[in-house]
Amino acid sequence: MIRLLVVLLGLLVAGCELPQSETRISLPEPDSQGAQMMRKFCSDCHAPPSPLVHSAKEWPNVIYRMQERRRMKAYEMIGEPERTILLDYLQKFSKS
């Protein structure tokens, strides 16, 4: 019985240690360019967040901060066309 509990606990802990980028979430319009940009750029550091976590007014600052973090980590920068697509997508599905 104790052995079974140890194994189950080990499996639970192992499941909690998956990198966030491997966490699956549902994005609105998952085949849209905006959702593709979310998966491409956000997944470098974390799971793409739901657009509902910020208001339309907040998203430009969030994208700016994430771009700065990408710069500090020497990741590919989000170009202007991609940033526009991403912002339009996030604002379209943001919280009210």
Question: Which single residue is written with the structure tokens 């194994």?
Answer: 7
pLDDT in tens, 23-40: 566 899 999 999 999 999
Residue at 17: amino acid letter = E
Helix (H, G, I), strand (E, B) or coil at 55: strand
pLDDT in tens, 53-86: 999 999 999 999 999 999 999 999 999 999 999 9
